[in-house]
Amino acid sequence: MKKIFYSIIATVLLLNLSYGQTSNSDWTNMMENYRNLVENILSKECPKGMDIDKFKTSLIKGEMELSESNQEIILSYTEPLKRYGLEFANKNKLKSLEESDLIFYSSISPDIPVENGEILAAKVGTPGLTWADVGNCALAALGADALYSLAFSGASSWSVAALTTTFSGVAKRFLGPIGVAIAVTTFGLCLADAYAN
């Protein structure tokens, strides 16, 4: 009887967790924890004497490669991001549910307003995002060479789908399949900070 009771309690808790809305503080904690895990892995592979940011840039440019085992570890850490990405996709009626898209969706905090698949632009004198903010965050996450590709990729709207396609395509091209997984926290935390300020 106790087993059944505990099983029911666990099921109810799991259902509440899986259908509850992620708060901004939960999202920030998830992104910071993930960033710390990824940076810990990257610091282990970073050549001695090389700055971690320079190492990331070298990875972005394809000048260096991350070991396959560490790529797999980084991808295994993306599970919370994918869960939030699915929550975000369902809430905003986004159709693409590929793994890299879900990881990218996790970069958009619950506080950033999205309506009909469009990120709402800032109004003068109010907090919000501008294309300059998006560009600066992409530069921080992907580097200058990747940002150049992003600028000429055809993204011309605040559409989450367009940003996802563009960002994911650029990150994959410059970093390989784990590109989005490595760049997403820098991009997401930067966007959240730009939106708040």
Please name the residue that has the structure tokens 């990331």.
56
Q: Confirm whether 15 is domain-assigned.
A: no
Cβ atoms of 133 and 111 within 8 Å: the answer is no
Residue 43 burial (C-beta neighbours within 10 Å; 0-12, 13-18, 19+): exposed
- Is 37 a domain residue? yes
Q: Provide the residue-wise pLDDT of the chain in tens; the chain has 197 residues.
A: 444 443 444 333 344 444 458 898 999 999 999 999 999 999 999 999 999 888 877 776 678 888 989 989 988 999 999 999 999 999 888 876 788 888 889 999 998 888 777 777 665 555 667 777 877 888 788 776 666 665 555 554 556 777 777 777 777 666 665 677 888 888 889 988 888 87
Residue 114 host element (H or E): strand 114-115
8 found inside a domain: no
Residues 6+ apart with CB under 8 A from 6: none
Q: Is residue 170 part of a domain?
A: yes
User: Considering the domain boundaries, does residue 11 fall inside one?
Assistant: no
| Residue 83 lies inside a defined structural domain of this protein | yes
Residue at 98 is within a domain: yes
Where do we find the tokens 């259902």? 15
CA distances from 93 to 45, 68, 96, 98, 148 (A): 39, 34, 9, 14, 30
Helix/strand/coil (H, E, C) string of 86-110?
Answer: HHHHHHCCCCCCCHHHHHHHCCCCC
Residue 4 in any domain: the answer is no
Domain count of the fold of the chain = 1
| Claim: this prediction has a pTM higher than 0.85 | no
**Rounded to an integer, what distance in angstroms lies between the CA atom of residue 131 and that of residue 154?**
14
Which residues span the domain enclosing 123?
23-196
Distances (CA, A) of 34 to 133, 134, 150, 177, 193: 22, 21, 24, 17, 17
